[in-house]
Amino acid sequence: MRKVAIVGIGITKFGELWEMSYRSLAAEAGLKAVEDAGLSGDEIDALYGGTMTPGLFTDGQEHGGPLLADAAGLTGIPSTRIEAACASGGAALRQAYISVGSGINDIVVAGGVEKMTDVLTPSATFALMGAGDQKWEGFYGVTFPALYAMMARRHMYEYGTTEEQMALVAVKNHANGSKNSNTQYPFKVTLDQVMNSTPIADPIKLLDCSPITDGAAAVILASEDKAKELTDTPIYIESSGMATDTLALHDRKSLSRTDAAIKAGKDAYKLAGITHNDVDLAEVHDCFTIAEILAIEALGFCNIGEGGKFTEEGETEMGGKIPVNTSGGLKAKGHPVGATGIAQAVEITEQLRGEAKARQVDGAEIALTHNVGGSGATCVVHIFKRRN
């Protein structure tokens, strides 16, 4: 398989973007990525676009492949919509990576977009619950805060994880997000603010939850030869791992770990020829604070059951053993579900280029992204490396 590098990145502001449409968000991110790569657009061979459910979030519009190509001014090329719930962006990046790595294409766009705030909260909740098991969960009124609350409660029962440890995830990620101009919530929060925020699904509170968000992101991938022609700072995708678990939470072997993430992480480490100890920073899927704790355990940064303590000890902070979610994560940056996995790759690219400014991790060489669909039914993990 050929070596594949990121040569261009683009991202919009994340938030409640009333003045932006689904199309304009996609166009802005795509054009920024093309400009960053120094391309005219004619050189692009294909596009893979991650988007979960534009039809429910916006105006009934589906058929996202040609729509996204049209919005970016790339009509004529093969363009494929990729849907893997909240892991749609990560899955799109994986397909673009395979496309270039296989030799089928030389330069490919991987993008992600979601416009979520054009509908009322009940409609957004219904759309998002499509990522769960509709027959056994959604039909009975279960929502994702409730599913993650069950996972959190079981983790607390088995391992002694506390609500305060979960809240510290939000405190850290808001601190990081306050240094990122693209975040939906670029402000800090205190432990007391998180702990005293509105209860949503015990033990999850409002400030344990990622928001409903509009936004888009794009990266341009190129073969090694093309990458060397286009940039002096190519960021190589060393590997991609993807795995699935049961769709319904009640069918899982355990409620207190995410087996798809464990397998995807192991596969990605093996293909890259590294271990978790080699990773300098990670962007993980913190749709709820407990999700970050489950992620760092699944990826081997700490033992299963020790994620709360690992967080409390400051090991995931800037300057800690493994900085996690330097962008602010889904919690502060926002979570436009189809765009999230690509936005993670944008953050990692900036970090490995040394362009992350106030949130830069010094000397970062190897990084990881972890993008989850639903309550863990899908997980995509990518390993990135900066080569001198």
3-state SS of 294-362? Answer: HHHHHCCCCCCCCHHHHHHCCCCCCCCCCCECCCCHHHHHCCCCCCHHHHHHHHHHHHHHCCCHHHCCC
Candidates 155, 174, 285, 335; catalytic one:
335
Contact predicate 249/375, CB 8 Å: yes
* Cis omega (within 30 of 0) for bond into 203: yes
Q: Which residues lie across from 204 on neighbouring strands?
A: 201
Residue 86 designated active-site: yes
- Contacts of residue 5, defined as CB under 8 A and 6 or more positions apart, other chains included, come to 221, 222, 223, 224, 227, 231, 234, 235, 236, 237
Place of tokens 């928001």: 211
Handedness of CA 63, 65, 68, 73 (dihedral sign): negative
Angle (deg, nearest 10), helices 289-298 and 259-272: 50
Candidates 86, 287, 302, 379; catalytic one:
86
* Residues with catalytic roles: 86, 335
